[in-house]
Amino acid sequence: LLCDTQGSSSYVQWFCFRVRDMQAGEAYTFHLSNLLKPGSLFEEGCQPVLWSKRRKQETGEGWVREGTDVAYYPCQDAGRRHRVSFDVRFPFDEDEVFLSHAAPYTFS
């Protein structure tokens, strides 16, 4: 469940979180609820991005679009709230990864 930003009137849409100690090749399904926008780029084929600590160390590759069975749909029990669901197969065992709506960036 994604939380509203305190005192903000903007949409809850962006996410970034860490996952550790997974098994490579195993399908993990994520359901992120409480999104406010009635539409999303996930409906147009957008995928979340994944950053793997081990992949970065071994190949130098950073954020990569990954995920299958991506769906964006209204929550049955939450009024105008929506949910994004997707499956991910992690590239390495016992890794540390971040999943995000888009690759984070800075202004510098």
Q: What is the pLDDT of residues 59-93, one digit of tens each?
A: 999 999 999 999 999 988 767 788 999 999 999 99
Average pLDDT over all residues of the chain: 87
Q: Exposed/middle/buried for 88, CB within 10 Å: 0-12, 13-18, 19+? A: buried
CB-CB neighbours of 8 under 10 Å: 8
The pair of three-digit structure tokens given for residue 50, joined into one six-digit string: 């994944």
Do residues 25 and 57 touch, judged by C-beta distance below 8 A?
no
Helices within the chain (DSSP H only): 53-59
pTM as predicted? 0.84
